[in-house]
């Protein structure tokens, strides 16, 4: 991976929000189905990242970034701790985004490895995500994630056409369900 480092943001300041918005806008303009419709704008992107910033402060999620040697954010991913008290071992992985100019260099893989490490360090043993991206599906499968299946017509592409989503999970090391206590 060319001169990109991954780090966790403890808080999202204005510079970080600007950088994260640039990445989000680039992904949506590239056609990614990641919650937003055309036309994408800085107003929508900044509002999203400000709400994420508040959530980080509340301790609900972790934001990881990939940054280049100049300190520019080129990618990001989130680990969201599950809220229900009966799922203390689970987290969701979301908003895996890499700027188009840095794709296919291992940034996504590095972000995913870092997200799994953060989750494991927090004692999480089960990760879940969904994706509408074929590129992302291959990334997750390569890293040992299990494909559960697809929900048709789940969301919209930015241009308004319906798109399916695919659900994945990964049990982290030491996290395989204990047959003595696991019930279906
Ligand atoms: C999905 C996404 C995050 C992947 O990011 P990425 O940084 O390109 O991922 P990687 O570089 O790790 O892997 C991508 C491909 O490049 C290849 N690759 C990685 N390093 C490489 C290198 N040094 N040289 C050549 N190829 C390389 C990988 O093998 C992989 O190949 P594949 O397309 O055959 O699967 C990115 O495409 C993206 O942001 N998409 C839009 C947003 C989106 O839909 N996100 C998913 C939300 S869940």
Whether residue 88 contacts residue 125, with contact meaning beta carbons closer than 8 Å, is answered with no
Q: Which residue has the tokens 């490895």?
A: 113
Beta-strand relationship, 146-156 and 126-131: unpaired
Of 99, 98, 116, nearest in space to 108 by CA: 98
Sequence-ordered strand ranges (E) for the chain: 5-9, 61-67, 73-81, 90-98, 126-131, 146-156, 162-171
User: 184 falls in which pLDDT band (50, 70, 90)?
Assistant: low
Query: What spacing in Å lies between the alpha carbon of 139 and ligand 1's midpoint?
Result: 6
Query: What spacing in Å lies between the alpha carbon of 98 and ligand 1's midpoint?
Result: 8
Task: Select from 34, 64, 79, 103 the residue to mutate for testing ligand 1; criterion: most ligand atoms less than 8 Å from CB.
Answer: 103
CA angle 34, 129, 113 (to 5 degrees): 100
Cβ(24) to ligand 1 under 6 A? no
Tokens encoding 173? 């090391």
Q: pLDDT, tens digit, for every residue of 152-175?
A: 999 999 999 999 999 999 999 865
Q: pLDDT, tens digit, for every residue of 42-51?
A: 999 999 999 9
Integer-rounded Cα Rg, in Å, for the chain is: 16
Rounded to 5 degrees, φ, ψ at 8 are -90, 135
What is the pLDDT, as a whole number, of residue 179? 41
Q: pLDDT, tens digit, for every residue of 115-126?
A: 999 999 999 999
| 169 Cβ contact partners less than 8 Å away, ≥ 6 residues apart | 126, 127, 128, 129, 145, 146, 148
Average pLDDT (169-184) is: 65
């Amino acid at each position: 991976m060319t001169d990109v480092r991954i780090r966790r943001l403890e808080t999202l300041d204005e510079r970080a929000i600007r950088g994260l918005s640039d990445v989000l806008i680039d992904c949506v303009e590239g056609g990614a189905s990641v919650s937003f419709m055309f036309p994408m704008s800085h107003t929508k992107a900044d509002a999203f990242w400000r709400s994420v910033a508040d959530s980080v402060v509340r301790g609900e999620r972790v934001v990881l970034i990939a940054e280049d040697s100049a300190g520019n954010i080129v990618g990001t991913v989130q680990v969201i701790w599950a809220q229900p008290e009966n799922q203390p071992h689970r987290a969701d992985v979301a908003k895996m985004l890499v700027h188009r100019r840095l794709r296919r260099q291992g940034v996504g893989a590095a972000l995913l490895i870092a997200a799994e490490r953060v989750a494991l360090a927090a004692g999480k043993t089960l990760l879940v995500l969904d994706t509408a991206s074929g590129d992302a599906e291959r990334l997750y499968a390569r890293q040992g994630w299990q494909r559960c299946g697809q929900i048709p017509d789940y969301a919209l592409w930015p241009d308004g056409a319906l798109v399916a989503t695919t659900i994945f999970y990964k049990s982290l090391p030491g996290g395989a369900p204990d047959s003595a206590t696991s019930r279906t």
